[in-house]
Amino acid sequence: MDLKEKVVFNERIGHPVQGLYKLVLSGEAAKTARPGQFLHIQVTDTSDPLLRRPLSIAGIDPERGEVTIYYRIKGKGTELLSRIPADQYLSVLGPLGTGFSIPREGELLLIAGGIGMFPLFSVIQAAQKVPVKIKVLWGGENKDFLDSADLNLLLQKGLDVELSTLDGSFGEKGLVTALLEKHLALGSTQELLHGGLLQAAACGPNGMLKAVAGICLNGDVPLEVSLEERMACGVGACLGCVCTVRAENGGLKRKRVCKEGPVMNGQEVVWDADI
Amino acid sequence: MQTFNLETDLAGLKLKNPVITASGTYGFGEAYAPFYEPSVLGGITVKGITPLKRLGNPVPRLAETPSGLLNSVGLENPGLEAFLKSYLPQLASLDTAVIVNISGFSLEDYALMASSFQRGCGIAALEVNISCPNIKHGGMAFGTDPKSAEEVIAAVRKKTDLPLIAKLSPNVTDIAAMAKAVESGGADIISLINTLLGMQIDLNTQKPVLANTMGGLSGPAVRPVAVRMVYQVYQAVKLPVIGMGGISTWQDAVEFMLAGASAVSIGTANFGNPLAPVEILEGIQAYGNQRGYQSVREIVGLAHGQKG
């Protein structure tokens, strides 16, 4: 759980304006990591920034002993991380949190908003090892983002992928939720659904996840979501990163995104809870 | 050969060593168990308990600042009854001093909770939180007025025979006056500091980062304030002091002991380095050995010269 992982690769990918990086770590984490889990990475030996950075696992290679992570530079922590060269060792806690469940048959519908695609890369990796049909719906800001965020890797796998961009520079113009509504209206999907053979997994901004959860609820599609929240300890001690969920008795309760999540039942989460 | 005796005695609360974990940073003893045995520590302080279950404040509850952390968790906890039933038995089985932190919104709340904890119930001491900045009523309101602080401690004192630790807020102008007040109220030990009230504003949204607007600042950024207050309280009262506030290395811990702390508590440092308490303990031991001290008690308050 308290690991020293060797940096194998840590470089910017795609267009510089997107600020996207790919990090490959070699060590023990790959032995036990599951799709949807995260690593809590220390980016500096000093006290500023004070906290580790929780980053989702995007690829797991137990044979090579490597995990892959994608990240975007957002602040001081990720900026410092981007400067760490290959062959250096990083202090890493993990793999932490719950993972996505991978069905054994039927269709797995993946819905991603922006960099929310990255944790779903690890889901695809696992789902490709079982006889399940994978359908990917991915919405991004523009073509430059999708290209930079390794869209080609996804296409090379021969997956069924539908894309949308906000500016219409690639795929459908608009939000990924429109792709989802259209897909769920298809006849073939209805048959899978009634046979209990359709399930969905989503990751992206909270507003998108809320909309996805609403659409999936209307369509009776089981949904798992990967949540993001400001995190301190990563192990369930500080109660900083909670989300609100519906309790069995109909009341509300908190769950820790780092411990009970980051993957949660999409219908359980109370979105926009201001309590 | 190690001759340095790490045992410490805080007015009858005997600890095998002076390193404790701070309330709200260690869960109920389970969160860091995968990293090391809690029994290596002198004690652990569990998450603050209130009479009824609390969901705490909305998110975001955290904001990172230069060498510090703002939180507005707001005392999320399962409530007294669930704590006694679901958490206490496991905690009582740990081979370390378990300190339960209690918080409330009225004198009656504090008294009610205190009456549920007596010697033999499996815990070593009660820490009375009169210093939480993240709840609107109670908490810090009790801890910033000497008269209220004395009353709360006196009310709790009547209801339990356990050693009583009064946890003080740094959000006051005269910490010595607060220390004297809780001494008069019947506290056995003083712990300080709780977090400093602070806030952060996002330049993009132009709004406070924390959903609760303000929160408690902890981490290395607050350490000099905490050292100063431990130093002042050591001079003001006879009660032993548990020092905390930004301790992340053994050097920090020794500094607090020199200022007058008989034990130290590790809080925010746990988040970045789960092994911080263990490393701090090893460092204190090495310091004592190298300097040729017989006991950890010899170090306490040395920065004051001859006390009294």
**Cross-strand bridge partners of residue B214:** none
**How many angstroms separate the CA of residue A39 from the nearest CA in chain B?**
13
Q: What percent of chain B has pLDDT over 70?
A: 95
CB contact under 8 A, A232 and B271: yes
pLDDT of residue B168: 96
Of A260-274, B112-126, B250-264, where does mean pLDDT reach its minimum?
Answer: A260-274
Q: Is A274 on the interface with B (CB under 8 A)?
A: yes
- Copy the structure tokens of residue A242: 């909670």
- CA-angle at B225, arms to B221 and B227, nearest 5°: 110
DSSP B3-51: --B--EEETTEEESSSEEE-TTSSTTS-TTTTTS-GGGSSEEEPPPB-S
Element containing residue A172 per DSSP (H, E)? strand A172-173
Q: Is A2 on the interface with B (CB under 8 A)?
A: yes
The packing angle between helices B175-185 and B223-236, to 10°, is 50
Is the separation of the CB atoms in A7 and A85 below 8 Å? yes
B121 is an active site residue: no
Q: Is A30 on the interface with B (CB under 8 A)?
A: no
pLDDT of residue A192: 77
Mutate which: A2, A80, A230, A239, vs B, most B CBs within 10 A:
A239
Give residue-wise pLDDT tens across range B64-118.
999 999 999 999 999 999 999 999 999 999 999 999 999 998 999 999 999 999 9
**Residue B219: closest CA among chain A residues belongs to which residue?**
A50
Radius of gyration of chain A (CA): 18
Closest in B30, B58, B64 to A49, CB measured:
B64
Q: In what order do the strands lie in the sheet with A263-265?
A: A172-173, A160-165, A133-140, A107-113, A198-203, A223-226, A263-265
Q: Cα-flanking dihedrals φ and ψ of residue B141, to 5°?
A: -60, -35
**Does A147 score more than 90 pLDDT?**
yes
**Does A188 score more than 90 pLDDT?**
no
Give the pLDDT band (50/70/90) at residue B132. Answer: low
**Does A135 score more than 60 pLDDT?**
yes
- Copy the structure tokens of residue A120: 């779903």
- Alpha carbons B77 and A158: distance in angstroms, whole number: 49
pLDDT of residue B135: 60
**Residue B68: closest CA among chain A residues belongs to which residue?**
A50
Of B136-150, B229-243, B245-259, where does mean pLDDT reach its minimum?
Answer: B136-150
pLDDT of residue B134: 62
Closest in B47, B56, B69 to A232, CB measured:
B69
**How many angstroms separate the CA of residue A217 from the nearest CA in chain B?**
25
Give residue-wise pLDDT tens across range B139-179.
667 788 999 999 999 999 999 999 999 999 999 999 999 99
pLDDT of residue A204: 98
Give the pLDDT band (50/70/90) at residue B2. Answer: low
Convert A106-137 to b/e letters by CB count within 10 Å (16 or more is b).
bbbbbbbbbbbbbbbbbbbbbbeeeebbbbbb
**Cross-strand bridge partners of residue B167:** B129, B191
What is the pairing mode between strands A107-113 and A198-203?
parallel
Question: Tokens 């719906």 belong to which residue?
Answer: A137
**Which DSSP state fits B298?**
G
- Alpha carbons B245 and A183: distance in angstroms, whole number: 54
Give the pLDDT band (50/70/90) at residue B308. Answer: very low
* Peptide bond before residue A35 is cis, with ω within 30 degrees of 0: no
**Residue B23: closest CA among chain A residues belongs to which residue?**
A238
**How many angstroms separate the CA of residue A135 from the nearest CA in chain B?**
33
The packing angle between helices B223-236 and B250-259, to 10°, is 30
> How many residues are listed for chain A in this entry?
275
CB contact under 8 A, B55 and A252: yes
pLDDT of residue B1: 56
Mean pLDDT of B125-149: 80
Mean pLDDT of A38-47: 97
Q: Under the phi-then-psi rule, with left for phi > 0, alpha for psi from -120 to 50, and beta for the rest, what region is B237? A: beta
Average pLDDT, chain A: 95
**Does A224 score more than 60 pLDDT?**
yes
pLDDT of residue B306: 61
Of A64-68, B2-6, B16-20, where does mean pLDDT reach its minimum?
Answer: B2-6
Of A38-47, A242-251, B285-294, where does mean pLDDT reach its minimum?
Answer: A242-251
pLDDT of residue B129: 94
pLDDT of residue A110: 98
Give the pLDDT band (50/70/90) at residue B190. Answer: very high
Catalytic site residue from B63, B132, B233, B280: B132
